[in-house]
A and B are shown apart, each in its own frame.
Chain A
Protein backbone atom coordinates (compact mmCIF):
# COMPACT_ATOMS: atom_id res chain seq x y z
CA UNK A 1 0.00 0.00 0.00
CA UNK A 2 1.05 3.56 -0.69
CA UNK A 3 -0.09 6.13 1.79
CA UNK A 4 0.09 9.86 2.29
CA UNK A 5 0.12 10.81 5.94
CA UNK A 6 -0.67 14.25 7.26
CA UNK A 7 0.68 14.26 10.80
CA UNK A 8 0.50 16.94 13.50
CA UNK A 9 4.06 18.00 14.35
CA UNK A 10 4.65 20.13 17.39
CA UNK A 11 8.15 20.09 18.91
CA UNK A 12 7.05 21.31 22.34
CA UNK A 13 3.99 22.64 24.17
CA UNK A 14 5.17 26.23 23.74
CA UNK A 15 5.71 26.04 19.97
CA UNK A 16 2.80 26.25 17.54
CA UNK A 17 2.32 23.00 15.68
CA UNK A 18 1.31 22.24 12.11
CA UNK A 19 0.39 19.34 9.87
CA UNK A 20 3.31 17.79 7.96
CA UNK A 21 3.03 15.52 4.91
CA UNK A 22 4.80 12.17 4.65
CA UNK A 23 4.70 9.57 1.93
CA UNK A 24 5.00 5.92 2.80
CA UNK A 25 5.33 3.02 0.39
CA UNK A 26 5.20 -0.76 0.92
CA UNK A 27 2.81 -0.64 3.82
CA UNK A 28 1.47 -4.13 4.53
CA UNK A 29 -2.21 -4.33 5.25
CA UNK A 30 -1.41 -6.72 8.12
CA UNK A 31 0.50 -4.00 9.97
CA UNK A 32 -1.15 -2.37 12.89
CA UNK A 33 -1.54 1.39 12.69
CA UNK A 34 1.27 1.86 15.22
CA UNK A 35 3.59 -0.48 13.28
CA UNK A 36 2.95 1.66 10.23
CA UNK A 37 4.03 4.69 12.28
CA UNK A 38 7.10 2.73 13.47
CA UNK A 39 8.06 2.17 9.84
CA UNK A 40 7.59 5.86 9.11
CA UNK A 41 9.74 6.76 12.13
CA UNK A 42 12.55 4.43 11.03
CA UNK A 43 12.45 6.16 7.67
CA UNK A 44 12.55 9.56 9.37
CA UNK A 45 15.52 8.51 11.52
CA UNK A 46 17.40 7.29 8.44
CA UNK A 47 16.68 10.64 6.82
CA UNK A 48 18.08 12.38 9.89
CA UNK A 49 14.71 13.86 10.86
CA UNK A 50 13.02 13.97 14.23
CA UNK A 51 10.78 10.90 14.57
CA UNK A 52 7.10 11.40 15.36
CA UNK A 53 6.32 11.04 19.05
CA UNK A 54 3.23 8.99 19.90
CA UNK A 55 2.04 7.18 23.01
CA UNK A 56 1.81 3.41 23.15
CA UNK A 57 2.51 0.62 25.56
CA UNK A 58 0.91 -2.82 25.53
CA UNK A 59 -0.23 -2.79 21.90
CA UNK A 60 -2.87 -5.33 22.94
CA UNK A 61 -5.76 -2.93 23.34
CA UNK A 62 -5.86 -3.11 27.12
CA UNK A 63 -3.59 -0.41 28.54
CA UNK A 64 -5.19 2.72 27.12
CA UNK A 65 -1.88 4.40 26.25
CA UNK A 66 -2.29 4.77 22.55
CA UNK A 67 -4.86 7.04 21.08
CA UNK A 68 -4.81 9.11 17.92
CA UNK A 69 -7.36 11.10 15.99
CA UNK A 70 -7.27 9.28 12.66
CA UNK A 71 -9.11 10.94 9.79
CA UNK A 72 -11.21 12.84 12.28
CA UNK A 73 -12.32 9.80 14.29
CA UNK A 74 -10.87 8.89 17.67
CA UNK A 75 -8.93 5.59 17.25
CA UNK A 76 -9.81 5.61 13.54
CA UNK A 77 -12.49 3.87 11.50
CA UNK A 78 -12.88 0.77 13.69
CA UNK A 79 -14.28 0.90 17.20
CA UNK A 80 -11.08 -0.27 18.87
CA UNK A 81 -7.82 1.12 20.16
CA UNK A 82 -5.32 2.58 17.71
CA UNK A 83 -2.93 -0.34 18.31
CA UNK A 84 -5.63 -2.84 17.35
CA UNK A 85 -6.47 -0.93 14.17
CA UNK A 86 -4.90 -2.56 11.13
CA UNK A 87 -3.92 -1.06 7.84
CA UNK A 88 -6.42 -3.32 6.07
CA UNK A 89 -9.01 -0.78 7.21
CA UNK A 90 -7.46 1.64 4.71
CA UNK A 91 -7.03 1.50 0.96
CA UNK A 92 -4.04 1.97 -1.28
CA UNK A 93 -3.46 5.63 -2.07
CA UNK A 94 -5.34 6.93 0.98
CA UNK A 95 -4.45 10.18 2.68
CA UNK A 96 -4.64 9.74 6.44
CA UNK A 97 -4.84 12.69 8.81
CA UNK A 98 -3.32 12.00 12.23
CA UNK A 99 -3.82 14.43 15.11
CA UNK A 100 -3.45 14.27 18.86
CA UNK A 101 -6.46 14.30 21.20
CA UNK A 102 -7.63 17.91 21.36
CA UNK A 103 -8.74 18.99 24.80
CA UNK A 104 -8.11 21.76 27.28
CA UNK A 105 -7.50 18.99 29.80
CA UNK A 106 -5.00 17.16 27.58
CA UNK A 107 -2.19 19.59 26.71
CA UNK A 108 0.05 18.44 23.87
CA UNK A 109 3.48 17.36 25.12
CA UNK A 110 4.98 16.69 21.72
CA UNK A 111 3.59 15.81 18.29
CA UNK A 112 0.87 13.26 18.99
CA UNK A 113 1.57 12.81 22.69
CA UNK A 114 -0.81 14.49 25.11
CA UNK A 115 -0.56 14.70 28.88
CA UNK A 116 -3.50 12.77 30.30
CA UNK A 117 -2.64 13.20 33.97
CA UNK A 118 -5.95 15.08 34.28
CA UNK A 119 -7.56 11.61 34.27
CA UNK A 120 -5.32 10.54 37.14
CA UNK A 121 -6.42 13.57 39.10
CA UNK A 122 -10.09 12.74 38.47
CA UNK A 123 -9.40 9.26 39.82
CA UNK A 124 -7.55 10.60 42.86
CA UNK A 125 -10.49 12.89 43.54
CA UNK A 126 -12.71 9.91 44.31
CA UNK A 127 -12.24 6.92 42.04
CA UNK A 128 -11.30 4.55 44.85
CA UNK A 129 -12.69 2.89 47.95
CA UNK A 130 -11.25 3.45 51.40
CA UNK A 131 -10.99 -0.13 52.60
CA UNK A 132 -8.61 -1.40 55.22
CA UNK A 133 -6.02 -3.67 53.67
CA UNK A 134 -5.11 -7.01 55.13
CA UNK A 135 -6.01 -10.56 54.33
CA UNK A 136 -8.44 -10.91 51.48
CA UNK A 137 -12.05 -11.10 52.70
CA UNK A 138 -14.09 -14.19 51.95
CA UNK A 139 -15.35 -14.07 48.40
CA UNK A 140 -18.94 -14.53 49.49
CA UNK A 141 -18.78 -12.02 52.38
CA UNK A 142 -20.37 -9.33 50.21
CA UNK A 143 -23.01 -10.81 47.94
CA UNK A 144 -23.42 -8.80 44.71
CA UNK A 145 -26.43 -9.35 42.45
CA UNK A 146 -25.39 -10.73 39.08
CA UNK A 147 -27.00 -7.84 37.17
CA UNK A 148 -25.06 -5.27 39.23
CA UNK A 149 -21.84 -7.23 38.95
CA UNK A 150 -22.19 -7.37 35.17
CA UNK A 151 -22.99 -3.66 34.84
CA UNK A 152 -20.15 -2.72 37.20
CA UNK A 153 -17.77 -4.90 35.22
CA UNK A 154 -18.88 -3.38 31.92
CA UNK A 155 -18.11 0.07 33.35
CA UNK A 156 -14.82 -1.14 34.81
CA UNK A 157 -13.57 -2.15 31.36
CA UNK A 158 -12.78 1.55 30.72
CA UNK A 159 -9.07 1.79 29.99
CA UNK A 160 -8.90 5.59 30.32
CA UNK A 161 -7.60 6.14 26.80
CA UNK A 162 -9.36 9.50 26.48
CA UNK A 163 -11.12 8.80 23.18
CA UNK A 164 -14.40 9.98 24.74
CA UNK A 165 -12.89 13.40 25.43
CA UNK A 166 -11.30 13.53 21.99
CA UNK A 167 -14.54 12.70 20.20
CA UNK A 168 -16.89 14.82 22.31
CA UNK A 169 -17.96 18.05 20.58
CA UNK A 170 -17.92 19.59 24.07
CA UNK A 171 -14.57 18.06 25.02
CA UNK A 172 -16.28 16.45 28.00
CA UNK A 173 -14.73 13.65 30.04
CA UNK A 174 -18.13 12.61 31.33
CA UNK A 175 -18.05 9.08 29.89
CA UNK A 176 -14.73 8.37 31.61
CA UNK A 177 -15.86 9.88 34.91
CA UNK A 178 -19.23 8.12 34.62
CA UNK A 179 -17.59 4.75 33.97
CA UNK A 180 -15.56 5.09 37.16
CA UNK A 181 -18.51 6.37 39.21
CA UNK A 182 -20.74 3.55 37.93
CA UNK A 183 -18.15 0.86 38.45
CA UNK A 184 -17.75 1.66 42.16
CA UNK A 185 -21.29 2.90 42.76
CA UNK A 186 -22.86 -0.43 41.80
CA UNK A 187 -20.80 -2.50 44.22
CA UNK A 188 -21.35 -2.76 47.98
CA UNK A 189 -17.76 -1.73 48.65
CA UNK A 190 -18.37 1.57 46.89
CA UNK A 191 -21.43 2.61 48.90
CA UNK A 192 -19.93 4.52 51.88
CA UNK A 193 -18.29 7.08 49.60
CA UNK A 194 -20.86 7.03 46.83
CA UNK A 195 -22.21 10.55 47.37
CA UNK A 196 -18.95 12.35 48.00
CA UNK A 197 -17.24 10.40 45.21
CA UNK A 198 -19.51 11.63 42.48
CA UNK A 199 -19.46 15.23 43.72
CA UNK A 200 -15.67 15.32 43.91
CA UNK A 201 -15.03 13.51 40.63
CA UNK A 202 -17.42 15.73 38.65
CA UNK A 203 -15.92 18.84 40.28
CA UNK A 204 -12.46 17.65 39.28
CA UNK A 205 -13.52 16.90 35.69
CA UNK A 206 -14.98 20.42 35.44
CA UNK A 207 -11.83 21.98 36.91
CA UNK A 208 -9.60 20.16 34.42
CA UNK A 209 -10.94 22.14 31.45
CA UNK A 210 -13.14 19.34 30.24
CA UNK A 211 -16.56 20.35 28.97
CA UNK A 212 -20.04 19.46 30.16
CA UNK A 213 -22.02 16.61 28.67
CA UNK A 214 -24.89 17.37 26.29
CA UNK A 215 -25.75 13.71 25.67
CA UNK A 216 -24.69 13.71 22.02
CA UNK A 217 -23.25 10.21 22.23
CA UNK A 218 -20.05 10.56 20.18
CA UNK A 219 -18.06 9.28 23.19
CA UNK A 220 -19.78 5.94 23.43
CA UNK A 221 -19.63 5.49 19.65
CA UNK A 222 -15.82 5.66 19.59
CA UNK A 223 -15.12 4.01 22.97
CA UNK A 224 -12.90 0.99 22.32
CA UNK A 225 -14.57 -0.74 25.25
CA UNK A 226 -18.09 0.30 24.22
CA UNK A 227 -18.87 1.99 27.55
CA UNK A 228 -22.56 2.83 27.37
CA UNK A 229 -24.26 6.22 27.73
CA UNK A 230 -26.15 4.51 30.55
CA UNK A 231 -23.16 5.18 32.81
CA UNK A 232 -23.63 8.95 32.29
CA UNK A 233 -27.26 8.62 33.30
CA UNK A 234 -26.12 6.78 36.44
CA UNK A 235 -23.57 9.49 37.21
CA UNK A 236 -26.25 12.19 36.83
CA UNK A 237 -28.59 10.19 39.02
CA UNK A 238 -25.92 9.78 41.70
CA UNK A 239 -24.87 13.43 41.58
CA UNK A 240 -28.42 14.78 41.86
CA UNK A 241 -29.03 12.29 44.67
CA UNK A 242 -25.91 13.53 46.45
CA UNK A 243 -27.04 17.16 46.08
CA UNK A 244 -30.47 16.28 47.48
CA UNK A 245 -28.82 14.44 50.36
CA UNK A 246 -26.70 17.54 50.89
CA UNK A 247 -23.56 15.48 50.71
CA UNK A 248 -20.62 17.66 51.63
CA UNK A 249 -17.43 16.04 50.45
CA UNK A 250 -14.86 15.49 53.14
CA UNK A 251 -11.49 16.73 52.04
Chain B
Protein backbone atom coordinates (compact mmCIF):
# COMPACT_ATOMS: atom_id res chain seq x y z
CA UNK B 1 0.00 0.00 0.00
CA UNK B 2 1.34 3.36 -0.95
CA UNK B 3 2.01 5.62 1.96
CA UNK B 4 1.57 9.25 1.15
CA UNK B 5 2.61 11.10 4.22
CA UNK B 6 5.93 12.52 3.15
CA UNK B 7 6.43 16.14 4.04
CA UNK B 8 6.83 18.67 1.28
CA UNK B 9 10.31 19.91 0.54
CA UNK B 10 11.30 22.93 2.59
CA UNK B 11 9.00 21.96 5.43
CA UNK B 12 11.25 19.63 7.30
CA UNK B 13 11.39 19.59 11.07
CA UNK B 14 13.86 22.44 10.79
CA UNK B 15 10.93 24.75 10.08
CA UNK B 16 10.37 24.99 13.83
CA UNK B 17 12.96 27.42 15.15
CA UNK B 18 12.37 26.39 18.75
CA UNK B 19 10.72 28.15 21.63
CA UNK B 20 10.09 31.90 21.42
CA UNK B 21 11.30 32.35 24.98
CA UNK B 22 14.41 31.36 26.85
CA UNK B 23 13.62 28.76 29.51
CA UNK B 24 13.31 30.51 32.86
CA UNK B 25 14.93 28.31 35.49
CA UNK B 26 14.54 31.01 38.13
CA UNK B 27 12.71 30.30 41.34
CA UNK B 28 9.54 32.24 40.58
CA UNK B 29 9.20 31.68 36.86
CA UNK B 30 8.04 28.10 36.80
CA UNK B 31 4.39 27.24 36.36
CA UNK B 32 4.71 24.72 39.18
CA UNK B 33 5.82 27.50 41.54
CA UNK B 34 2.72 29.49 40.59
CA UNK B 35 0.60 26.42 41.26
CA UNK B 36 2.25 26.05 44.66
CA UNK B 37 1.35 29.69 45.39
CA UNK B 38 -2.25 28.88 44.49
CA UNK B 39 -2.18 25.78 46.68
CA UNK B 40 -0.70 27.45 49.76
CA UNK B 41 -2.93 30.54 49.56
CA UNK B 42 -5.86 28.18 48.93
CA UNK B 43 -5.07 26.36 52.18
CA UNK B 44 -5.11 29.71 54.01
CA UNK B 45 -8.56 30.44 52.57
CA UNK B 46 -9.86 27.00 53.53
CA UNK B 47 -8.67 27.42 57.14
CA UNK B 48 -10.29 30.84 57.28
CA UNK B 49 -13.51 29.48 55.75
CA UNK B 50 -13.75 26.75 58.39
CA UNK B 51 -13.45 29.33 61.18
CA UNK B 52 -15.90 31.65 59.41
CA UNK B 53 -18.47 28.89 58.97
CA UNK B 54 -18.27 27.84 62.63
CA UNK B 55 -18.66 31.49 63.66
CA UNK B 56 -21.72 31.86 61.43
CA UNK B 57 -23.47 28.99 63.16
CA UNK B 58 -23.62 31.16 66.29
CA UNK B 59 -26.57 32.87 64.57
CA UNK B 60 -28.65 29.94 65.85
CA UNK B 61 -27.76 30.91 69.44
CA UNK B 62 -29.54 34.24 69.09
CA UNK B 63 -28.81 37.90 68.53
CA UNK B 64 -26.83 38.48 71.69
CA UNK B 65 -24.37 35.58 71.21
CA UNK B 66 -23.90 36.43 67.55
CA UNK B 67 -23.25 40.12 68.16
CA UNK B 68 -20.93 39.46 71.09
CA UNK B 69 -18.99 36.92 68.98
CA UNK B 70 -18.53 39.62 66.37
CA UNK B 71 -17.31 41.98 69.10
CA UNK B 72 -15.03 39.24 70.46
CA UNK B 73 -13.33 38.96 67.04
CA UNK B 74 -12.52 42.66 67.23
CA UNK B 75 -11.29 42.40 70.80
CA UNK B 76 -9.27 39.25 70.14
CA UNK B 77 -5.84 39.57 71.75
CA UNK B 78 -6.91 42.27 74.19
CA UNK B 79 -5.60 43.41 76.60
CA UNK B 80 -2.13 42.30 75.43
CA UNK B 81 -2.72 43.86 72.05
CA UNK B 82 -4.81 46.90 71.14
CA UNK B 83 -8.34 46.36 69.82
CA UNK B 84 -8.58 45.12 66.20
CA UNK B 85 -4.89 44.08 66.05
CA UNK B 86 -5.43 40.37 65.53
CA UNK B 87 -8.34 40.94 63.17
CA UNK B 88 -6.29 43.40 61.13
CA UNK B 89 -3.43 40.90 60.89
CA UNK B 90 -5.89 38.24 59.69
CA UNK B 91 -7.29 40.70 57.15
CA UNK B 92 -3.82 41.60 55.85
CA UNK B 93 -2.83 37.92 55.53
CA UNK B 94 -6.04 37.24 53.64
CA UNK B 95 -5.59 40.25 51.35
CA UNK B 96 -2.02 39.26 50.50
CA UNK B 97 -3.17 35.68 49.91
CA UNK B 98 -6.00 36.88 47.64
CA UNK B 99 -3.56 39.03 45.66
CA UNK B 100 -1.10 36.14 45.28
CA UNK B 101 -3.88 33.68 44.36
CA UNK B 102 -5.20 36.03 41.67
CA UNK B 103 -1.70 36.82 40.37
CA UNK B 104 -0.88 33.12 39.97
CA UNK B 105 -4.29 32.40 38.44
CA UNK B 106 -3.98 35.13 35.83
CA UNK B 107 -0.42 34.20 35.02
CA UNK B 108 -1.38 30.54 34.47
CA UNK B 109 -4.51 31.60 32.57
CA UNK B 110 -2.36 33.65 30.20
CA UNK B 111 0.02 30.73 29.76
CA UNK B 112 -2.89 28.39 29.03
CA UNK B 113 -4.26 30.80 26.40
CA UNK B 114 -0.87 30.89 24.68
CA UNK B 115 -0.77 27.12 24.81
CA UNK B 116 -3.83 26.70 22.58
CA UNK B 117 -3.79 29.50 20.01
CA UNK B 118 -6.19 27.67 17.67
CA UNK B 119 -9.25 26.07 19.23
CA UNK B 120 -10.52 22.62 18.28
CA UNK B 121 -13.54 22.43 15.99
CA UNK B 122 -14.70 19.49 18.08
CA UNK B 123 -13.53 18.80 21.60
CA UNK B 124 -15.09 16.26 23.91
CA UNK B 125 -14.61 15.93 27.62
CA UNK B 126 -13.37 12.56 28.68
CA UNK B 127 -13.24 12.76 32.42
CA UNK B 128 -12.96 16.35 33.66
CA UNK B 129 -15.31 17.45 36.43
CA UNK B 130 -17.58 20.49 36.18
CA UNK B 131 -15.73 21.91 39.18
CA UNK B 132 -12.31 21.65 37.53
CA UNK B 133 -13.57 23.23 34.33
CA UNK B 134 -15.10 26.25 36.07
CA UNK B 135 -12.17 27.16 38.33
CA UNK B 136 -11.25 30.33 36.44
CA UNK B 137 -14.66 31.92 35.84
CA UNK B 138 -15.79 30.53 39.18
CA UNK B 139 -12.91 32.42 40.76
CA UNK B 140 -13.99 35.64 39.04
CA UNK B 141 -17.53 35.17 40.36
CA UNK B 142 -16.15 34.50 43.83
CA UNK B 143 -14.07 37.67 44.02
CA UNK B 144 -17.11 39.73 42.96
CA UNK B 145 -19.17 37.89 45.55
CA UNK B 146 -16.60 38.50 48.29
CA UNK B 147 -16.56 42.25 47.53
CA UNK B 148 -20.36 42.33 47.70
CA UNK B 149 -20.38 40.21 50.84
CA UNK B 150 -18.02 42.61 52.68
CA UNK B 151 -20.06 45.64 51.56
CA UNK B 152 -23.21 43.83 52.66
CA UNK B 153 -22.61 42.08 55.98
CA UNK B 154 -19.32 43.52 57.23
CA UNK B 155 -19.78 47.20 56.36
CA UNK B 156 -23.54 47.29 55.86
CA UNK B 157 -23.14 49.64 52.90
CA UNK B 158 -25.47 47.67 50.64
CA UNK B 159 -27.50 46.11 53.46
CA UNK B 160 -31.13 47.19 54.13
CA UNK B 161 -30.29 47.51 57.85
CA UNK B 162 -27.74 50.20 57.02
CA UNK B 163 -24.26 51.02 58.23
CA UNK B 164 -25.08 51.62 61.89
CA UNK B 165 -26.78 48.28 62.45
CA UNK B 166 -25.57 45.33 64.51
CA UNK B 167 -24.27 42.22 62.69
CA UNK B 168 -27.32 40.14 63.63
CA UNK B 169 -29.67 42.83 62.31
CA UNK B 170 -27.82 42.97 59.01
CA UNK B 171 -27.94 39.18 58.74
CA UNK B 172 -31.69 38.94 59.34
CA UNK B 173 -32.76 41.95 57.27
CA UNK B 174 -30.48 40.97 54.40
CA UNK B 175 -31.52 37.34 54.04
CA UNK B 176 -35.24 38.02 54.44
CA UNK B 177 -35.03 39.11 50.82
CA UNK B 178 -35.19 35.89 48.72
CA UNK B 179 -33.16 37.52 45.91
CA UNK B 180 -30.24 38.09 48.30
CA UNK B 181 -30.51 34.56 49.69
CA UNK B 182 -30.51 33.04 46.20
CA UNK B 183 -27.52 35.16 45.14
CA UNK B 184 -25.64 33.99 48.24
CA UNK B 185 -26.66 30.38 47.58
CA UNK B 186 -25.41 30.52 43.98
CA UNK B 187 -22.11 32.07 45.02
CA UNK B 188 -21.68 29.57 47.85
CA UNK B 189 -22.27 26.64 45.52
CA UNK B 190 -19.68 28.14 43.17
CA UNK B 191 -17.37 28.38 46.20
CA UNK B 192 -18.09 24.75 47.04
CA UNK B 193 -17.06 23.61 43.57
CA UNK B 194 -13.97 25.80 43.69
CA UNK B 195 -13.02 24.15 46.98
CA UNK B 196 -13.87 20.67 45.72
CA UNK B 197 -11.36 20.89 42.91
CA UNK B 198 -9.02 23.10 44.93
CA UNK B 199 -8.53 20.61 47.75
CA UNK B 200 -7.66 17.83 45.34
CA UNK B 201 -5.53 20.08 43.16
CA UNK B 202 -3.60 21.56 46.08
CA UNK B 203 -2.73 18.10 47.40
CA UNK B 204 -1.55 17.10 43.95
CA UNK B 205 0.38 20.36 43.46
CA UNK B 206 2.16 20.06 46.78
CA UNK B 207 3.18 16.56 45.75
CA UNK B 208 1.21 14.57 48.31
CA UNK B 209 -1.12 12.66 46.03
CA UNK B 210 -0.48 9.23 44.59
CA UNK B 211 -2.34 6.45 42.84
CA UNK B 212 -3.38 4.86 46.11
CA UNK B 213 -4.67 8.08 47.70
CA UNK B 214 -6.25 9.56 44.57
CA UNK B 215 -9.72 8.10 45.09
CA UNK B 216 -9.92 8.76 48.81
CA UNK B 217 -8.64 12.27 48.22
CA UNK B 218 -11.36 13.04 45.70
CA UNK B 219 -14.05 11.64 47.98
CA UNK B 220 -12.67 13.71 50.87
CA UNK B 221 -12.57 16.87 48.73
CA UNK B 222 -16.22 16.42 47.75
CA UNK B 223 -17.34 15.59 51.29
CA UNK B 224 -15.43 18.51 52.74
CA UNK B 225 -16.90 20.95 50.23
CA UNK B 226 -20.44 19.65 50.83
CA UNK B 227 -20.16 19.90 54.63
CA UNK B 228 -18.56 23.35 54.54
CA UNK B 229 -21.01 24.83 52.06
CA UNK B 230 -23.90 23.07 53.79
CA UNK B 231 -22.90 24.84 56.99
CA UNK B 232 -22.81 28.17 55.21
CA UNK B 233 -26.14 27.66 53.43
CA UNK B 234 -27.95 26.84 56.68
CA UNK B 235 -27.88 30.48 57.83
CA UNK B 236 -29.43 32.38 54.88
CA UNK B 237 -32.12 29.74 54.38
CA UNK B 238 -32.91 29.65 58.11
CA UNK B 239 -33.45 33.40 57.94
CA UNK B 240 -35.56 33.13 54.80
CA UNK B 241 -37.79 30.45 56.35
CA UNK B 242 -38.08 32.29 59.65
CA UNK B 243 -36.04 29.86 61.80
CA UNK B 244 -33.72 32.74 62.64
CA UNK B 245 -35.48 36.06 63.17
Contacts and interface: CB of A to CB of B under 8 A. Distances in A.
A115 B38 CA distance: 32
B108 interface: yes
Nearest to A106: B16
A105 interface: yes
Nearest to A232: B204
Interface string B185-210: 00000000000010011011111111
B interface SS class: loop
A97 B122 contact: yes
- For B121, B126, B205, B210, the residue with the greatest tally of chain A CB atoms inside 10 Å of its CB is B126
A224 interface: no
A51 B1 CA distance: 14
Interface residues of B, number: 64
Contacts of B29: 203, 206
A69 B211 CA distance: 27
A149 interface: no
Contact of B5 (A35, A55, A71): A55
Contacts of A248: 25
A207 B19 contact: yes
Interface stretch (A127-135, A138-146, A215-223): A215-223
Contacts of A12: 8, 11
Nearest to B131: A216
Interface stretch (B112-120, B168-176, B222-230): B112-120
B4 A215 contact: no
Interface in B13-53: 13, 15-16, 18-25, 27, 29-36
A240 B33 CA distance: 7
A214 B115 contact: no
B120 A72 contact: yes
B35 A206 contact: no
A60 to B, nearest CB: 15
B54 to A, nearest CB: 28
Interface string A65-107: 0000101110000000000000000000000010100111101
A249 B26 CA distance: 9
B78 interface: no
B85 interface: no
A167 interface: yes
Nearest to B124: A72
A189 interface: no
Contact of A229 (B4, B32, B204): B204
Contacts of B111: 170, 206, 211-212
Given A102-B120, A209-B114, A203 B23 contact: yes
B200 A215 contact: yes
Contacts of A234: 207, 210
A236 interface: yes
Given A19-B121, A73-B126, A236-B207, A171 B115 contact: yes
Given A103-B115, A170-B112, A228 B30 contact: no
A121 interface: yes
Interface in B114-168: 114-129, 132-133, 135
Contacts of A35: 1
A193 interface: no
Contacts of A102: 116, 118-120
B30 A214 contact: no
Contacts of B123: 69, 72
B5 A230 contact: no
A210 interface: yes
A170 B123 CA distance: 13
Interface string A223-251: 00000111011111111110100001100
Interface of B: 1-8, 11, 13, 15-16, 18-25, 27, 29-36, 108, 111-112, 114-129, 132-133, 135, 197, 200-201, 203-211, 214
Instruction: Give 7 nearest A-B pairs by CB, closest first.
Output: A237-B207, A171-B115, A212-B31, A211-B115, A72-B124, A72-B122, A211-B112
